[in-house]
Chains A and B, each alone.
Chain A
């Protein structure tokens, strides 16, 4: 069974700080997703990674397949970045099937 662990569970930062959220998983995966969920519930996909690093604006996501670990970084954080950040991994579940398993999320609060 694949476990997905995120740390920290909660994170409070001051505007402008550099933020790192971590995700570790226990089995081989074919892809890892970072999702953002704002208060009010809507979920948006930020990144999908299978190797290396991706950057979009102030957000950077990295993955180390050998260490089964991914990080999401936010540079120059802003109060509008306040949200729950969720890591999800796509892994083989038997036959020709794949499943998504989610971490429990990291609640980020950025204060002005």
Chain B
């Protein structure tokens, strides 16, 4: 089944404790992206990747890192999480960055205390 998976789905952590949210897709998609969703603000793009080893900042990259060492994986790293990073995070992928349909992961609800 074609899908985007994220892990963990739920995470409660404390300020400053490094964490990684994994994202994997099995569709051989070139384009992958991370979004955060906050009440009243909607979805905002954090980082995106147009292919292996090619990443760029979205609208709200501060406090996040990403890497794209393999085509299928695009982990989101929070080196020193803070409470303002409490949010619902979505990973998505598409065939390329040409505006094609995006496939979303199920979301990761992160709480930073």
A→B interface (CB under 8 Å): 30-31, 33, 35, 41-45, 48, 50, 86, 88, 90, 97-105
Q: Would you give the shortest CB distance from A88 to chain B, in whole angstroms?
A: 7
Among B43, B88, B92, B100, point to the contact of A86 (Cβ < 8 A). B43
| Interface majority SS (helix, strand, loop, mixed), chain B | strand
A67–B106 Cα distance when bound, in Å, is: 34
Are B99 and A102 in contact, with the CB atoms below 8 A?
no
Are A42 and B106 in contact, with the CB atoms below 8 A?
yes
* Complex contacts, B81 vs chain A, CB 8 Å: none
* Complex contacts, A50 vs chain B, CB 8 Å: 99
Are A102 and B102 in contact, with the CB atoms below 8 A?
no
Q: Would you give the shortest CB distance from A72 to chain B, in whole angstroms?
A: 15
Between-chain CB contacts (< 8 Å), 11 pairs: A30-B99, A31-B100, A41-B107, A42-B104, A42-B107, A45-B103, A101-B45, A101-B59, A102-B42, A104-B42, A105-B42
Asked if B56 is at the interface of the complex by the 8 Å CB criterion, the answer is yes
Would you list the 10 A-B pairs with minimal beta carbon distance, nearest first? A31-B99, A104-B42, A43-B104, A102-B43, A90-B99, A45-B101, A41-B107, A102-B42, A30-B99, A48-B101
